[in-house]
Chains A and B, each alone.
Chain A
Amino acid sequence: MTPRRQRMLVVGLVVAGVAAAVGLSLRAFQENLLYFYTPTQALAGEPPAGKRFRLGGLVEKGSVRRESGSLEVRFQVRDNQQEMTVAYSGVLPDLFRDGQGVIAMGYLEPGGVFRADEVLAKHDENYMPPEVAESLAAQGHPGKPGATVTAPN
């Protein structure tokens, strides 16, 4: 083996070794890397009990209820199977609206209501002018706006 081939082998081994190490640790830490739980996962008891976690899903259309005289707001967050009530008191981001993907940080109250202290809006990867979005909606185009939320894995 020429020295050059030897060095090539070493570089290849470094790349392969690091890739394997990263891949394995990602597999092992998948649970911790899970950025949010869907309502289905949360209702199945996947998040550790009594701990704060993030709940992600779509705002159910027409479910947003504001209490008059305060910032308190309640809405349903759903994935494609289950839904969950979220209670939140504070300012909502500009993108928060019916059908929008949201991520709420908080904990599950004993009554089954998710008490959030932070609500973030998730936008999708689609970009179009308002007129295009309107005509797509008029045609009943599936999935736009507001795609489905599926659990990872």
Chain B
Amino acid sequence: MWTWFFRLASPPHVYALAGKLGLWFLIPAFALLAVGTWGGLVLAPPDYQQGDAFRIIYVHVPSAYLSMLIYVTMALAGAIGLIWRMKLAHAVAASCAPIGASFTFAALVTGAVWGKPMWGTYWEWDPRLTSELILLFLYFGYMGLRSAYEDINQADRASAILAIAGVANVPIIHFSVIWWASLHQGPTLSKLGAPSISGAMLWPLLTMILAFTLYFLGVLALRVKGEVLAREFQSRWAEDVLRGISTAGSQ
């Protein structure tokens, strides 16, 4: 039952597929980004308490959600790489880190400029804010650890263990607003029952979340392509690609 999985994981196949997938994901992602931004900035009504400042939600929530989704993807890929000795999984994990770090940064900055006018402060050592900052440091630690090794196999193994250990921080980020008295408000979308946001404000948010997810998959594909090529440098197909003989994944 796993043969399709391993065929999928053959490097030349992945290389060719990643080039195509990148565009398939990125084109709808940018279309949805345009729709969601228009919906969020223009069509959605202002909030009853926060006025127009609440519109930051349309970039803050998708960024924060991606920062966690990417971390889980990275840890999962690292675990698959460790258990099945699958190099492709390690290539995916390594490709996740810079993307995840950048969206964690975006979540922190957009949250800060939301916090200043609404809460009265850019930053507080609140459980939610602190655990998100720890996530940023985990990404930095992951990238730092990778670059500390000369040997790529050692780098893969060590960084996968760090990623897996750090995954404990993800549920802490999510539940911090429920477990502890915090300045950050509780979850709007992911709680049981109906989301506590009116429909006219909700659809641009869901559009943006979908757009960000597709965008991540697109950029991930582009990064994985380069990563696979570098790792498979010694193989026949990679040489063909580099010499321009093979058309696999040509752009």
Contacts and interface: CB of A to CB of B under 8 A. Distances in A.
A and B touch in the complex (CB under 8 A): yes
Contact of B168 (A22, A33, A92, A128): A22
Given A18-B165, A22-B172, A92-B120, A123 B185 contact: yes
A43 interface: no
Given A7-B83, A33-B180, A35-B127, A120 B119 contact: yes
Interface residues of B, number: 44
- Provide the main secondary structure of the chain B interface: loop
A120 B201 CA distance: 25
Interface stretch (B45-53, B102-110, B140-148, B243-251): B45-53
B181 A35 contact: yes
A11 B200 contact: no
A11 B118 contact: no
Contacts, number: 126
Interface in A1-56: 4, 7-8, 10-11, 14-15, 18-19, 22, 26, 33-36, 38, 56
Interface residues of A, number: 44
B118 A94 contact: yes
Interface in A81-133: 92-96, 100, 103, 118-133
A152 interface: yes
19 contacts: A11-B83, A22-B168, A36-B183, A38-B181, A95-B50, A100-B49, A120-B119, A120-B121, A120-B124, A120-B183, A122-B119, A125-B185, A125-B191, A127-B54, A127-B188, A127-B196, A128-B198, A130-B48, A152-B181
Given A26-B172, A36-B181, A127-B188, 4 more contacts: A15-B164, A15-B165, A129-B46, A130-B47
